[in-house]
Structure 1
Amino acid sequence: LEKQFSTIAGVDTMTSVSTDGLATITLQFSLDRSIDAAAQDVQSAIAAAARSLPSSMPTPPTQRKVNPADAPIMNIVLSSSTLPLSTVAEYAENLLAQQISTVSGVAQVQVYGSQQYAVRIQLDPNALATRGIALTDVEQAVGNSNVNLPTGTLFGRDKATSIQATGQLMTAQAYAPIIVAYRNGAPIRLGQVAKVIDSVQNDQVASWYNGKRNVMLAVLRQPDANTVQVVDSVKALIPVFQEAIPPALDLQI
């Protein structure tokens, strides 16, 4: 990615920070460069580098425009006392953030404290060692049991029909019975060597408001937009959001 970005015109500086499972590359452009045109060049560079990226990446690279001098003009807090944060995050990202982004004058909606659902497998080293099972055995068994691929095609006289098996596992309860190995003719299931729990993708990220966990949306305006008009336009959507979200969700500005 950095090699592709280095060919973009108008790049003053390029810095990158890499951590476990995440890499962030920041490009700073010269003041005479159109930020919209620069964003298109960055997206083209990402597309050009896509063929060289690992196929095992969970999500493709994304890009967003940021003005370091800008601060959010409005924060919207979404919380619930009964619903899990993963459900709260779905409404925040898929409903609120997308609709607010379409408001005239809104440059970006940043989501803080997002908790996307994921299944976590916490392996027991002692249980694995006792049964002589390697980590790669578990990884392969889980991967083979959780697929979402076309099964085949039925060819008829007038049409062809694709068949897709629903082999994708969606909950921790569905993962526990996976057979990871056989010992003395008996199956060893994932639940016997690991703790499988319903969790989130990143449990190191959190947001609090008044001492309560939540998901926060920060609204940033475009440089030439009127702050008061943008805030009023976003506030006009609040009644629409209140009708669309469950009563268990609490929305505050």
Structure 2
Amino acid sequence: MKFIAWFVRRPVATLLLLLSAVLSGLMALPLLPVSDLPDVDLPVISVSASNAGGSPEVMARTVAAPLERHLGNIAGVTQMMSTSTRGETSISLGFELGRNLNGAARDAEAAIRAARRDLPTTPGSDPQYHRANPNATPVLILAVTPGMQSMSRLYELVNTTLRPMLLQVQGVWDVTLMGSSAPAVRVEMNPLLFFKYGMGFENLRAALASANAHTPKGVIDMGDRRYQLAVNDQAEHAAAYRDLVIAYKNGRPIRLRGVATVTDSMQDVNAAAFFDGKPALTLMVRAQPGANLVGIVDAMKARLPQLRTLMPTGADIAVARDGSAVIRSSLHHTLVTLLMIDATHLKAHRTAASVLKKGLFPAISDAQKAV
């Protein structure tokens, strides 16, 4: 009772203490990490690998099986779940509770390196791993509309210019680009013509591989001079592939345009995304564990004017989904509740001060002493 009486008899000091606590909380509020989920370090690691054109059965036999054999030798693995789809394989590793996740990630990386010699050597087949993140849901989705630009060229621009700038924002874990794929030359073969010339698909594969070989050309020594050979033989567009000689029959060259249709396209023609009913590219921003999601969204929106200056004519970038809206609403209600509690405390303090002024507090103390 004497402890409470000290605050009641000193209303000015009590008010100053209360105001200082409120001001300290308001000053610390913007510095607190804000997220919709707690920072939980789950002992789960996901491994993914791709092989373009592989059926689920081929992916399970040639990609998933070698990875499972090596990943299963990691100490502390309690659960392993593998899923193989068309061209994709995903393996989820669950570890026993208390297992250091950084150590488990190093073991997973070592197992992947050991499994590479048993995996296909086709492009895109190198496995990748990442730790489970409870904040894997995108906190912000940006939509880039192409305007008059082709989707493949826009993808290349966004992937090489805009995406690195977004990854530089503090607290960003990953920025996933969806809705299109990188530019590529697509070759559609005519099997009847291959049969007519007595050729196999291996002739075409070898010819395309030689046209994309990045190998040193050598040097020429002439007396005291040495000349480095540099040949511009890297084909990048469909026009450069159409005249490619893939075989010789009866002393006559057979060119690619005679047995196949060659067009400028993209790696995955089935990738698509839409914004307001129009084709678009989507940038899905994911935050690091424990990061301030509201601060990340504010920093991203502040960079939008700068990003628009890098876009080609007619293209635009806009916010398709803001995942911080729910967090902001929760923070607002929390702040209102805290202010209401503070107001209630101030009202109770005024009531106690009025009681003290009327002389009722000493009477209550005397009554307690008499009892």
**TM-score calculated relative to the size of structure 2:** 0.61
Paired amino acid for 2:239: Q
Q: 1:79 to 1:182 in 2, by over 3 A?
A: same
Q: Which has the larger radius of gyration?
A: 2
> Aligned residue for 1:226?
292
Paired amino acid for 1:121: V
Structure 2 stretches of 5 or more lacking a match? 1-66, 320-371
Offset of residue 126 of structure 1: 2.0
> Aligned residue for 1:124?
190
String of CA shifts for 1:79-119, please: whole Å, max 9, x gaps.
21211111221233222222222322222222222311111
Offset of residue 73 of structure 1: 1.1
Offset of residue 54 of structure 1: 3.3
String of CA shifts for 1:192-229, please: whole Å, max 9, x gaps.
11111111111122111111111111111223122211
Which region of structure 1 is more displaced relative to structure 2, 200-209 or 127-136? 127-136
2:276 counterpart of 1:210: yes
2:74 counterpart of 1:13: no
Structure 1 stretches of 5 or more lacking a match? none
Q: Which one has a larger percent strand, Structure 1 or Structure 2?
A: 1
Identity %: 33
2:104 counterpart of 1:64: no
Q: 1:107 to 1:144 in 2, by over 3 A?
A: closer
> Aligned residue for 2:301?
235
Distance 1:70 1:51 in 2: 31
Offset of residue 68 of structure 1: 5.3
Q: 1:155 to 1:24 in 2, by over 3 A?
A: farther
- Is the contact made by 1:115 and 1:200 (CA closer than 8 Å) also made in structure 2? yes
- Is the contact made by 1:124 and 1:193 (CA closer than 8 Å) also made in structure 2? yes
Distance 1:146 1:70 in 2: 37
- Is the contact made by 2:135 and 2:288 (CA closer than 8 Å) also made in structure 1? no
String of CA shifts for 1:28-83, please: whole Å, max 9, x gaps.
44553454444344333333333443333345322333435642111011121211
Which region of structure 1 is more displaced relative to structure 2, 77-86 or 127-136? 127-136
Which region of structure 1 is more displaced relative to structure 2, 60-69 or 108-117? 60-69
Of residues 140, 164, 168 in structure 2, which corresponds to 1:98?
164
Which region of structure 1 is more displaced relative to structure 2, 42-51 or 196-205? 42-51
Paired amino acid for 1:55: T
Distance 2:213 2:71 in 1: 34
Paired amino acid for 1:194: A
**TM-score calculated relative to the size of structure 1:** 0.86
Offset of residue 10 of structure 1: 4.2
Of residues 171, 174, 177 in structure 1, which corresponds to 2:240?
174
Which region of structure 1 is more displaced relative to structure 2, 227-236 or 91-100? 91-100
- Is the contact made by 2:178 and 2:272 (CA closer than 8 Å) also made in structure 1? yes
Distance 1:118 1:12 in 2: 42
> Aligned residue for 1:133?
199
Distance 1:159 1:5 in 2: 54
SS in 2 for 1:76: strand
Quote the RMSD (CA, aligned, Å): 2.7
Paired amino acid for 1:103: V
Offset of residue 156 of structure 1: 8.8
SS in 2 for 1:64: strand
Paired amino acid for 2:87: G
Which region of structure 1 is more displaced relative to structure 2, 206-215 or 243-252? 243-252
Which region of structure 1 is more displaced relative to structure 2, 98-107 or 149-158? 149-158
String of CA shifts for 1:136-160, please: whole Å, max 9, x gaps.
2222222233322101145699997
2:178 counterpart of 1:112: yes
- Is the contact made by 2:155 and 2:281 (CA closer than 8 Å) also made in structure 1? yes
Q: 1:33 to 1:233 in 2, by over 3 A?
A: farther
Q: 1:24 to 1:247 in 2, by over 3 A?
A: same
1 or 2 for the larger relative contact order (CA 8 Å, sep ≥6)? Answer: 1
